[in-house]
Structure 1
Amino acid sequence: MNTVATPSEVTKGKHQIDLIDGSFTASEAQDLVVPMLTKKINFHQIKRMSLFEKNHKDTCAPDRDRILELEEAKATVEDIFLQAKIEGKKVKMHSTIHITLED
């Protein structure tokens, strides 16, 4: 049974959420993963534009590099899911998010 953490519990230690855990059809896997990657790419693009508007000399290298990494990851997973579709295979995935509050 899942319980909701109280505010005092939330501020203590580390937390983890099992976001994805199981076997999926290729289409289901694609529906779960590709939008998350797209959202992360958009997040960094917007952040990069905002930083550039404030300072036109800022190359925004960390965000630019992260966008490239995420675009490569997106292309890779799309290839994996396509291959799974072609071969009629299921896709097993596990994703855990680790959360720690910091100052």
Structure 2
Amino acid sequence: MNTLVSSPEVAKDKQQINLIDGYFTASEAQDILTPMIAKKINFHQVKRMSLYENNHSDACASDRDRIVELEAAKIKAEDIFLQAKIEGKKVRMQSVIQITLED
């Protein structure tokens, strides 16, 4: 379950969600992180396709660059999980999502 973290120093228009916080086996960590990265890649691919359909001259460079960045992150994470499996180590993961309301 996601928890909403509020503190006196966090304004109403700025909140945090403690998404991931714990120790996991390599397989558990992979089960958590791999689909999240895949979902983000898919998000940018769909967005890029939609933009291209509306404007064939739009190179969608920011989405293309983000896809490349996420694919590299996926490979890096797979390497880390493989190393953890080989060495019999646990994986510590933490992820805090910061949400800010802006004009």
The TM-score by the shorter chain falls in which range?
0.7 to 0.9
Shift of 1:102: 1.6
Structure 1 portions without partners, runs of 5+: 5-10
Could you list the structure 1 runs, at least 4 aligned residues long, displaced by more than 6 angstroms after superposition: none
Distance of 1:30 and 1:15 partners within structure 2: 27
TM-score normalized by the length of structure 1:
0.88
TM-score normalized by the length of structure 2:
0.88
Which SS does the other structure have where 1:58 is aligned? Answer: coil
Is the 2:15–2:98 Cα contact (8 Å) retained in structure 1?
yes
Task: Please tell me whether residue 70 in structure 1 is matched to residue 70 in structure 2.
Answer: yes
Q: Which residue of 2 aligns with 1:7?
A: none
Greater relative contact order structure (CA < 8 Å, 6+ sep): 1
Q: Which residue of 1 aligns with 2:7?
A: none
Shift of 1:101: 1.2
Distance of 2:28 and 2:36 partners within structure 1: 13
Q: Deviations over 1:36-61 (max 9, x none)?
A: 00000000000000000000000000
Letter in 2 for 1:45: Q
Is the 2:52–2:60 Cα contact (8 Å) retained in structure 1?
yes
| Two-structure CA RMSD over aligned residues (Å) | 1.8
C-alpha distance 75-12 of structure 1, shift in aligned 2 (>3 A): same
Q: Which residue of 1 aligns with 2:27?
A: 27
Structure 2 portions without partners, runs of 5+: 5-10
